[in-house]
């Protein structure tokens, strides 16, 4: 009986530590797939695997693409938000907080709402070198409006924004 539990435990342990296959075929893509789609989903897969360097590399390529087809532009916009996050917290990429902030600001102008939350954090967190009370008030207020208005609210993020906003008001 101990052997059964040991084998079962090893199986569970190994499967918990295995990484998702990020090959194009595993992502239901192939060499004929749109490059924007391939880069976005490959980067996302690597991110889920916590292979942040690979994720950043794929997303950076997508961010730098010119003439992205209209139906894939939303992927490029989301990548600006995601790259900003990786850069701000130095996940698999050099810490460049000012560049992260510029990515988030660009993403906001293109309609990416999550970037408001990231800018709220960047400016409202006193531990960050980017702390700026006045900017924090503006971005946190906008983030609150966005997150309170969502049909499916992320209570954890909403709570974080409320905490920051109260702190900087």
Q: Which residue has the tokens 């532009």?
A: 73
What pLDDT does 9 receive? 45
Q: Write the CA distances from 22 to 25, 67, 70, 93, integer angstroms.
A: 8, 25, 25, 19
Distance CA 19, CA 48 (A): 9
pLDDT of residue 17: 63
If one counts the domains in the chain, the total is: 2
**Which of residues 65, 96, 127 is at a domain's end?**
96
122 lies in a domain? Answer: yes
State pTM to two decimals.
0.86
What are 29-62's pLDDT values in tens digits?
A: 999 999 999 999 999 999 999 999 999 999 999 9
Verify that 92 and 133 share a domain, yes or no.
Answer: no
Given pLDDT bands bounded at 50, 70 and 90, which one contains residue 8? very low
Domain-terminating residue out of 96, 122, 145: 96
> Taking the CA atoms of the chain, what radius of gyration do you get in angstroms?
19
With H, G, I as helix, E, B as strand and everything else as coil, classify residue 7: helix
- 107 has pLDDT over 70: yes
Residue 91 has pLDDT above 60, yes or no: yes
- Looking at 96, 123, 142, the residue that finishes a domain is 96
Mean pLDDT score of the chain:
91
In a domain, 140, yes or no: yes
Give the range of the structural domain holding residue 122, as residue numbers without chain letter: 113-169
Tell me if 107 is assigned to some domain: no
Token pair, residue 65, equals 């693409």
């Amino acid at each position: 009986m101990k052997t059964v539990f040991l084998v079962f435990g090893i199986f569970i342990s190994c499967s918990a530590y295995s990484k998702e296959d990020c090959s194009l075929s595993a992502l239901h893509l192939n060499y004929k797939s749109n490059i924007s789609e391939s880069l976005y989903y490959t980067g996302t897969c690597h991110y889920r695997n916590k292979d942040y360097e690979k994720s950043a590399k794929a997303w950076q390529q997508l961010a730098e693409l010119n003439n992205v087809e209209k139906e894939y532009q939303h992927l490029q916009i989301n990548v600006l938000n995601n790259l900003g996050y990786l850069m701000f917290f130095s996940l698999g990429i050099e810490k460049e907080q000012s560049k992260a902030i510029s990515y988030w600001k660009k993403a906001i102008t293109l309609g990416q709402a999550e970037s408001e939350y990231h800018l709220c954090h960047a400016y409202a967190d006193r531990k960050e070198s980017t702390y700026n009370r006045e900017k924090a008030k503006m971005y946190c207020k906008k983030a609150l409006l966005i997150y309170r208005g969502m049909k499916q609210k992320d209570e954890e993020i909403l709570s974080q924004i409320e905490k920051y906003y109260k702190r900087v008001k």
